[in-house]
Structure 1
Amino acid sequence: MNIQAIYNKRTFFISALGLTGLLFAQKASAQEGLKQETIDIISTNQPKLRDAYKLNLTASLPGIDTSRPSLKYQLPALNLNFMYQAMPLKPLALGKDSLSYLQNNFVKLGYGNYKTPYVQAGFGSGRHDMYNYGLFVNYTGSKGKEIPDQDYSNLNVLAAGTYLLPKFRFDGSIGYDRNTVHYYGYNHDTANFKKKDLEQTFNQITAKVGMQNRPQNDWAFTFQPEVKFILFNDSYKRTENTFLLKVPIRKQVFEDIYIKAEGIFDLSTYKEGSNRAINNNIASIHPSVDIMKPGFVLHAGVNPTWSNGKFYLLPDIVNESHLVRKKLILSSGWISYFEKNTYRNLANKNPFLAGLPGEMLNTRVEEKYTGIKGTLGSHFNYNTKFASVTWYNMPLFVNDSADTKKFTTRNEAQLRAFQLHAEVGYIEEEKFQARVSFDWYNYNKQETEVQPWHLPAFQGDLFAQYTIAKKLHLNADLFALSGSYYLLPNKDFDKTKGAWDLNAGASYDISKNFGLWVNANNLFNTHYQRYYLYPTYGFNIVGGVLIKF
C-alpha cells in the first residue's frame, strides 16, 4: 500500500475521532455541562525512505590482441585477348653531355704578296675537371717591294696551363717572342747600308705563375697573387730584366659593399753594353671600397705610389649613376696612375728606337672625366667620355739628328689635352655586329717641347662583321688617322699627312674541319707614315686554309 495513503488515512482517523469526541462532548455538556480536556501531541509522523544500496564498479580495458590476422582474398581470373602485343620494357641509356665536342687543335696556313708566309697553330687539352693546357705558335713576315729593306718578321710561342684543386687554382705560362725590323727610314738614293747593319731583333722571354683561391661563398676573402719574370734584349746588346708581383685581395663586408687592396711591385734593370745599370722601380698599394647597388656604383680609393724613390698619393674615384635604368648612365671619375717607361714598353710603341738616352722618368697620368653610356633597345649600345688629361714626364719620339732613321726620346715635363671619346655598337646575335669609335685630343699646353711630337690628334675605327648561313664570315675595318708633328734636324718642324686605311677579310667553312680564309689590307694603297720616314706597306693580301681537329 502507498505510504502516503496510510498517512492520509491515519490523519483522517485521528481527525474523525477528535470530531466524534467533540460532538460527544457537546452532547454531554448539553446534558451534563462542559468539561475541560487537554490533548498532548507527542510527535509528528515523518516518513523516511531507506538509503539505497550503491554498487562500486571499476572499469578496465580489454587485453590487446597481438595476433596477426591472416586474410585471404580470392579474385576471379580475367582473361583478355588483345590484337596488339606490347614490346617488353627496357631501361633507357643515360643522356649524352650537353656540351659539344671541342675542336682543341687548329692549323692556319697562308701566303701573300710581299713574300708573306703565314703560319698559326694551336693545340689544347680540352675539358678536364682538374687541369687543362695549351700551346700556341704564330709566325709571319714580309719583304718590301717599293722600298728596300722594308722587311719584318714576327714569331710568337706561348705554352700555358691551369691546375684546379677544390680550394685553389694554379696558372702558369711561358712564352717567347721574336720581332725583327729594319731601319729603312733613310734616303735610298744617297745612302747604302748592309742588311746586317739595319736589322734590329727584339727577343723576349716571359714566365708567369699565379694562384687564385676558390671560395665556397661570396663573403669569403678572394686573393689572386701573380709573379711575372720578363727578359728582354735586342741586337745591340741592350738587355732589360723585369720582376713584377701583384697581390690583389677582395672581401665582401655587407650585402653590396666590398673592400679591396692590391699591392704591386714592378722592378726593372736596363743595361746597354758595359755601361752602368739603370734601375726603374715602381711600388704601390691600392686600397679601395666598392659600393654596388642597383642603379649606383661607386669605387673610392687612393693609390699611394713610390716611383724611383719619390712618393705620390694618387686619386682613384669612379662613379656610375643610372639616370634611366641601363639606358642612360652617368659616368664620372678622377683617376691617376703611372705608365712605366722601360725600354721594352717604349720599343713596343716605336720599334725604331735607338735605346734609352739615360735614366727615364715614368709618366704620371691624371684624368678627370665625365660622360654617358648605356643601351638603346636590345641591339644598340653607346659610350661617350669628355676628359681633361695631363701627362707628367711624357716621352716624345723625335728623329735622331745624327741618324734620322733612328729615334730618340724627349721628355715633356707637362702635356695637357682635352679628350673626347665616343663609340656606338650594334649587335644582332652572332649574325651581324658593327662598331664605330673615335678619340680626339686637343693638345693645348706643353711646357718643354714646341709640339707633341708624333702624337696624332685623331684616331677613328669602323668595324663590321656579317655571317651568312653560318658558313661565310665577312668583316671589314676602316681606320682613320690624323697627321702628327715631327722635328727636323734643323730644329724646324712639319706635319705628316692624315690617312685612311681599309682592311677586309672573309672565311668560309667548307666542313666542320676545313675552311678557307683571305685578308686584304690597305685597300686604298696609301703609304702613310705613322712615324716620319717610315711609310707603311701598300695593298697587301694573304690567304690560305684552316684545319680544325
Structure 2
Amino acid sequence: MSELGAQIKEEQLILNRKREPEVKKIEKKKTSVIQEKNYPPDNKKKEDSLNLKYDIVNVPPVSNFKTTEIQGEDISPKFSNDYQSNYFRLGYGNYGKFLADANISGKIQENVEIGADAHYLSTNGLKKEYNWSSKQNEAKIDVFSNIYTESGKFNIDANYAFNNYNYYGIYALTPSNNDVDLQQKVNKFSVNGYYDHYSNEILNNVRVKSYFLSDHFGASENYANLDVNLSKHDFSVYDDITANGDLGINLETVNSKFDILNKNTNNQFNFTLSPKVTFYKGDSYLLIGSDFSFLNSKNSSNVTEESKNNKFYWFPKAEVLVAAADEFKFYGGIDGGLKLNTYGNLLDENPFLISDLTLTPTETKYHFYFGLKGDVDQTFKYDVNAGFSKVNNAQFFYNNNLFDTNISADRQGYDYANTFSSIYDNGTLMEVNGDLQAFPMENLTVDAGLHFMKYKLDNLEEVYYKPLFQFNLGAKYTMLEKKLNLGFKAYFVTDRNSNSYEVSNIAAIPNYTTIENKNEKVGGYADLNLSAEYKIHKNFSIFALGNNLLNAKYQNYLGYKVLGAQFLGGVKITF
C-alpha cells in the first residue's frame, strides 16, 4: 500500500466488543464462525491465558500504522450481530475517493462455512500538489472456508490483490512532461491454510502460508512457509507444578527475481527447530528453550558474481513470569531469531521501492526484555516493557539517486530520485513499549500505546526512517441502544532522518550533477481520525469517516505527501 492518505492498514473497531484479555486487538473481516461448540478446550484456554505476553509485548503500539496515498484509517464501527454477518458497503468522499466492500458467508453444513470478502478503493490523488499523476486504486478479493471436526478446526483461504499507483514523490528533478508515466502495479496471489488440533497431544497446530507476487517492471517473487507445532501439554511434574513440552518446526523459502537495472536475484531458505519446555505454577511460569536455524541464501546480479551463504544459528529462548496478583505480573526473558526480508513484506512498509533489491535476512542475535503487566478488575489492562537487542543486517530504507545522469536520457518513471532501496547494517536497538486499555463505562473503551526505539549502528551515520517516538490514542463509544457507534484514533510520530539529493545542470556538461545530503529531516506529524455509524434499520446503516483531520500533508517518505483532511460518507446494508 502507498502513501497519499493518512492511513493505516484497514482496521475495524468493534465498539461493543467483549472484554477480552488483550491490550490491543486488530480484527480482520469475518473469516471464522463466531460460536464453536466446546471450543477451545480447557487446556487451550490455559495455554492462551498464560502466554498473554505474545499478544501484547511483541507488537509495537503502532506497528500497523501506515499511511497510504488513497485512504485514511478505516475505523468505522462494526455491529456484531451474529445473524447479520453479511454486508455491502459503499462510500464516496473528497479527493475522488470511492470505497466499496462486501462480505458474504454462510454454512453449507453444520460444521462447514464458506465465504467471500471483497474490497475496492480508489482516489484521484493530490492534483493541486503535483502536476503529474498521483492517483491510485487497489482491490482485494478473498474466498475462505472454515471446517470444524471432532478433533480440530481447519481454515483455508485464497485471495488476489492488486495495488495500482504512481511514483509521484518527485522533489529533485522536475519531469519535462507532466504526462510522464510513473506507474507501478503490484499483483499478489496468496493461498493460506491453518489447522488447530483441539487436544495438544503430539499435534498442536499446522500453518501454511504462500504467495506469488509480480509487478509492473517484471519482478516476481515466490514465497512459502510451513509451521508445525508438536506438543505434549499439562503433564504433572511435582505437586502443583505442571509442564508443557513443545517442538516447533518451521520451513521458509523465498525466491525473488528482478528484471530492471542490476537484475538482482535472491534465494533464501531457512529451516528452524524450536524446542521448549514451560513449567507452570498457578499463573506463574518458567519457559526454557532454544531456536536452531539453518540458513541457505544466494544473491546474484548483472554487476556482481553469485554469493552463497550456508550457516547454522543458535538463539537462546527463556522467559519467566511471576504473577504476584492479577494486577501485577512481572516478566523477563531473552530470545532471538532470523527474519527473511522479502520484496512483498518490504512493499507493505514502503510501496515506493525500486523494483531491484538486494534482500538479506536480519538476525536478532539476542533480545533481552523485562516488563510489568496486569488486569485491574477487568476495567484497566496495561503492559509496560523494555528491551535491548543485538541485531545483524538490520534493514532500513534509503533514498535512491538518479540511475541515469545523462540529461538527454529517455527517463523511466522510477528515475527521478523518487524511489527507495533496502540497506543493512549491524548494531544495537533499545526499545520501550507501553500499552493500555481501559473500560471506564460499559459502552466506552479507551486504548493507548507508546513505542520508543533507538538504534546505534556500526557503519551508517544516520538511522533512516525510524522515528524515536510513536504514540497512538483511541476510543470507541456506543450509544442510543447501540444504534450509534463512534470511533476516534490519533497518531503522533516524531521526526525521522533520511538522505536526499540535489540535482543540477551545469552548462557544457552532458550529465546532471548530483549532491547527496545524508542528514535530511522528514518532519513528524499528528494524524487524527474520527468515524460514526448510525443504524437506521436492522439491515441499513449510514456511516461517515474523517481522516487526517488536522489537514497536515505530511510525508512518511521524502517527497510523498499524504492526502489532507479526508471526508467519506456512505451506506451499509447488512443481511
Query: Shorter-normalised TM-score: what interval?
Result: 0.7 to 0.9
1:253 and 1:375 map into 2 onto residues whose CA distance is 25
Query: What is the CA deviation profile of residues 137-175 of structure 1, one whole-angstrom value per residue up to 9, with x for unaligned ones?
Result: 001111123333222222111111022333343331111
Structure 1 range deviating more: 151-160 or 124-133: 124-133
- Equivalent in 283, 300, 306 of residue 271 of structure 2: 283
2:129 pairs with 1:147: yes
The correspondence for 1:258, drawn from 241, 244, 249, is: 244
Range that drifts further, 225-234 or 430-439: 225-234
Per-residue CA deviations over 1:368-422 (Å, capped at 9, x if unaligned) read 111111123331111101111332101211111114101112221x132321111
CA contact (8 A) 2:135 2:166 kept: yes
Q: Distance in 1 between matches of 2:463 and 2:89?
A: 41
Q: Which residue of 1 aligns with 2:369?
A: 369
Q: Structure 2 unaligned segments of length 5 or more: list them.
A: 1-36, 38-79, 237-241, 297-309, 403-415, 502-514
Aligned to 2:342: 342
Name the structure 1 match of 2:479: 468
Match of 1:49 in 2: none
Aligned length: 446
Q: Name the SS of the counterpart of 1:224 in structure 2.
A: strand
> How do 1:443-454 residues align onto structure 2 when only pairs under 5 Å count?
443=455, 445-454=456-465
Matches of 1:301 and 1:188, distance apart in 2: 51
Q: Pick from 500, 507, 510 the counterpart of residue 533 of structure 2.
A: 507
Residue number in structure 1 paired with 2:448: 436
Q: CA deviation at 1:247?
A: 1.0
Q: 2:161 aligns with which of 164, 168, 177?
A: 177
Does residue 136 (structure 1) correspond to residue 117 (structure 2)? The answer is: yes
User: Aligned ranges for residues 408-427 of structure 1 at < 5 Å?
Assistant: 408-412=421-425, 414-427=426-439
Query: Residues 510 and 359 of structure 1: is their aligned pair in 2 closer, same or farther, counting only changes over 3 Å?
Result: closer
Check conservation: 1:392, 1:415, Cα contact below 8 A: yes
**Pairwise CA distance, 1:129:** 2.7
Structure 1 unaligned blocks of 5 or more:
1-96
- Aligned-residue CA RMSD (Å): 2.2
- State the distance in 2 between where 1:362 and 1:101 align: 43
Q: Is the 8 A contact 1:283 1:305 kept in 2?
A: yes
Equivalent residue in structure 2 for 1:526, among 530, 552, 571:
552
Give the whole-Å Cα distance in 2 for the aligned partners of 1:336 and 1:195: 49
Which amino acid counterpart does residue 536 of structure 2 have in structure 1?
I
Is 2:101 the partner of 1:115?
no
Kept in 2, the 8 Å contact 1:288–1:300? The answer is yes
Question: Equivalents in 2 of 1:223, 1:477: separation in Å?
Answer: 37
* Letter in structure 1 aligned against 2:122: G
2:545 matches 1:544: no
The structure-2 alpha-carbon separation of the partners of 1:295 and 1:113, relative to structure 1 and needing over 3 Å to count, comes to: same
Who is 1:244 aligned against? 225
Structure 2 length as normaliser, TM-score?
0.74
SS state of the match for residue 150, structure 1? coil
Higher RCO (C-alpha under 8 Å, 6+ residues apart): 2
Quick one: distance in 1 between partners of 2:153 and 2:326?
34
Alignment of 1:319-338 (within 5 A): 319-323=320-324, 325-338=325-338
| Cα shift at 1:535 | 1.3
Match of 1:314 in 2: 315
- The AA in structure 2 aligned to 1:355 is S
Q: Which amino acid aligns with 2:476?
A: Q
Query: Are the aligned partners of 1:280 and 1:342 in contact in 2 as well (CA < 8 Å)?
Result: no
Where 1:102 maps in the other structure, the secondary structure is helix
Shift in Å at residue 467 of structure 1?
A: 0.7
Amino acid paired to 2:427: L
